[in-house]
Amino acid sequence: MISRRQFIQSAAVAGLAVGLQGKCAPAKKEVPPLPSGEGPGFWSSLRAQFPMPAGEAYCNTGTIGAPPTRVVNRMVGHMQKHAREIAHCDWSDGGIDLLSGYFPYIELREKIGRLINAHYKEIALTQNATMGMNFLAHGLDLPEGAEVITTDKEHSGGRSGWQLRAKRYGTTWRQVPVSVPVEDPEQIFDAFMDAIGPQTRVVSLPHVTSGTGTILPVREICRYAGEKGLFTIVDGAQAVGHIPVDVKDIGCDAYYASPHKWLLAPAGSGLLYIRRERINEVWTTLASGQWDNHEDNGFRLTQRGTGNAALLAGLDEALDFHFEVGPDRIYGRIKELGDSLRAGLAAIPRTSILTSLHPEMSSGLTTFNVAKMDGKVLQDTLWERGRLQPRSQGERGVRYSTHIYNSPAEIDKALAIVADLAEKM
Ligand SMILES: Cc1ncc(COP(=O)(O)O)c(C=O)c1O
């Protein structure tokens, strides 16, 4: 038997609800058609579907993505509609999904499941990668003397929960060194194989490192650690929307990400996956009414009280955009642009590339420097001379992100500026 609330929800989602609840239904979706065809024409036409002015190149997706206009419109439209029509909403039966944190959002979680190859009950909606990492670091029971292994290249959002746990409960936290640049995947796999010891219970590492955008061999490491019964966690903040992610193929126990980076969702979008077979081992950290719902563990781990449902509408739109453009086409374009940047940089004297040049270990992130410049000076020079906005990495230079809103012409411009700096600085 379907409950009244479930009916209203599903009808509203389908845009079929009438009368009182009809007013509360999500704003009608209006999206421009995608450009037709393939190749450069497709990408330059698609660029017009982003609100950034032509001539300005955003090269910092690694920090936060630039959402397409349709994502912004869906989110804003949702807020406007409900601000206008809120008096029409019937809350007598617990309300509608305007409160976000109280509703299971099954369709949205199914869409995320399609993206990363998981069942919706294995997926929780969070605010970002940091929240996912903390839910794991604080939700796992670990025996006394247990050791957690990460890399020494974690973002603070990938390591701080473990540090807190180490300080509060005495869990050992150990960091495996990752060289800069990384030569090949074996180097990292061997380092983890050597580091895992009798007390190790958790292995937690990034799919793509934050500082240099190096893709780590998570599949091999998770499979190896998994065979030893360790709990394996992958930080996918820099991976989802950037490179293919198949959590079943990786074989990790948990995977968390920030779709507001490469998936181009609105800021404040997060996902946490935990494998069905191990999800009951993770306690709820942020508890509300469904905190003990082990029938739908993803919903249990989504408890967070009232949130902004417009954000989830934006995330839903970003997923639709991603699927419509085509995941493989997106990953291919990002990689092609990144490869061409790295190839061009490698040919310029006095330039250092800190991202791995192994073909399987890099895609849309490239950290580089020229003539040992200060990163902020290099960042500002690229902006002043070329309207290119990467992100300073201090003495390491800049981290330059390439996404589908970037173009080969921008890469040529960046390379020309770098070549000039190499000659004159
Ligand atoms: C590898 C990695 N993990 C975690 C985070 C934290 O992401 P968020 O701030 O979205 O939680 C970042 C952010 O840049 C990151 O690069």
- Per-residue pLDDT tens over the stretch 162-185: 999 999 999 999 999 999 999 999
Residue 193 CB partners (closer than 8 Å, separation 6+): 224
Does the CB atom of residue 317 touch ligand 1 within 6 A?
A: no
Out of 63, 155, 363, 401, give the residue to mutate to test ligand 1, the one with the largest number of ligand atoms within 8 Å of its CB: 155
Model confidence at 18, pLDDT cuts 50, 70, 90, reads very low
CB 292 within 8 A of CB 284: yes
Instruction: Write the pLDDT tens digit of every residue in 303-313.
Output: 999 999 999 99
Give the chain's mean pLDDT: 93
Q: What is the distance of C-alpha 93 from the center of its chain? A: 35
Q: Which atom of ligand 1 is nearest to the CA of 129?
A: 11
Model confidence at 24, pLDDT cuts 50, 70, 90, reads low
**Residue 21: pLDDT above 90?**
no
Does the CB atom of residue 399 touch ligand 1 within 6 A?
A: no
**Residue 15: pLDDT above 70?**
no
Query: How far does the centroid of ligand 1 lie from the alpha carbon of residue 261, in Å?
Result: 9
**Residue 90: pLDDT above 90?**
no
Note the pLDDT of residue 365.
98
Amino acid at 162: W
**Residue 247: pLDDT above 90?**
yes
Longest pairwise C-alpha distance within the chain? 75
Out of 159, 238, 242, 365, give the residue to mutate to test ligand 1, the one with the largest number of ligand atoms within 8 Å of its CB: 238
Q: What is the distance of C-alpha 396 from the center of its chain? A: 23
**Of 78, 76, 100, 80, residue with least CA distance to 9:** 100
**Residue 418: pLDDT above 70?**
yes
Strands 172-176 and 200-206: unpaired
Instruction: Report the predicted TM-score, pTM, of the whole model to 2 decimal places.
Output: 0.93
Give the separation between CA 98 and CA 315, rounded to whole angstroms.
Answer: 15
Give the separation between CA 118 and CA 135, rounded to whole angstroms.
Answer: 19
Give, as one character, the DSSP assignment of residue 28.
Answer: P
Instruction: Write the pLDDT tens digit of every residue in 275-305.
Output: 999 999 999 999 999 999 999 999 999 999 9
Amino acid at 70: R
Tokens of 186: 């074996």
**DSSP for 327-352, written as a single string:** HHHHHHHHHHHHHHHHHHHHTSTTEE
Give the separation between CA 237 and CA 263, rounded to whole angstroms.
Answer: 10
Phi-psi region of 143 (alpha: psi -120 to 50; beta: other; left: phi over 0): beta
Q: Give the residue, by CA position, lying nearest to ligand 1 atom 7.
A: 129
CA dist list (Å): 261 to 128, 271, 280: 10, 12, 29
Greater model confidence, 97 or 299: 299
Note the pLDDT of residue 92.
81
Does the CB atom of residue 236 touch ligand 1 within 6 A?
A: no
Number of Cβ atoms within 10 Å of the Cβ of 288? 14
Model confidence at 95, pLDDT cuts 50, 70, 90, reads low
Note the pLDDT of residue 23.
56
**Residue 6: pLDDT above 60?**
no
Give the separation between CA 69 and CA 108, rounded to whole angstroms.
Answer: 20
DSSP SS3 for 137: helix
Within 13 Å and on the Cβ side, how many CA atoms surround 44? 8
Full strand arrangement of the beta sheet holding 351-353: 351-353, 365-370, 398-401, 391-392
Instruction: Write the pLDDT tens digit of every residue in 104-127.
Output: 999 999 999 999 999 999 999 999
Phi-psi region of 251 (alpha: psi -120 to 50; beta: other; left: phi over 0): left
Instruction: Identify the burial level of 330 via C-beta atoms within 10 angstroms of its C-beta, where 0-12 means exposed, 13-18 middle and 19 or more buried.
Output: buried
Give the separation between CA 307 and CA 9, rounded to whole angstroms.
Answer: 17
Q: Give the residue, by CA position, lying nearest to ligand 1 atom 14.
A: 63
Model confidence at 10, pLDDT cuts 50, 70, 90, reads very low
Instruction: Identify the burial level of 221 via C-beta atoms within 10 angstroms of its C-beta, where 0-12 means exposed, 13-18 middle and 19 or more buried.
Output: buried
Does the CB atom of residue 134 touch ligand 1 within 6 A?
A: no
CA dist list (Å): 91 to 20, 28, 189: 11, 21, 53
Note the pLDDT of residue 11.
34
**DSSP for 252-309, written as a single string:** -SEEEE-TTSTT-PPTT-EEEEE-TTTGGGB--SS-STTTT--SSHHHHTT--SB--H
Phi and psi torsions of 253, nearest 5°: -85, -30
Query: How far does the centroid of ligand 1 lie from the alpha carbon of residue 12, in Å?
Result: 34
Q: Which atom of ligand 1 is nearest to the CA of 206?
A: 1
Element (H, E) at 288: none
**Residue 204: pLDDT above 80?**
yes
**Residue 17: pLDDT above 60?**
no
Model confidence at 2, pLDDT cuts 50, 70, 90, reads very low
**Residue 214: pLDDT above 50?**
yes
Greater model confidence, 12 or 340: 340
Does the CB atom of residue 206 touch ligand 1 within 6 A?
A: yes
Does the CB atom of residue 213 touch ligand 1 within 6 A?
A: no
Note the pLDDT of residue 27.
67
Q: How many angstroms separate the first and last alpha carbons of the chain?
A: 73
Out of 235, 255, 256, give the residue to mutate to test ligand 1, the one with the largest number of ligand atoms within 8 Å of its CB: 235
CB 231 within 8 A of CB 202: yes
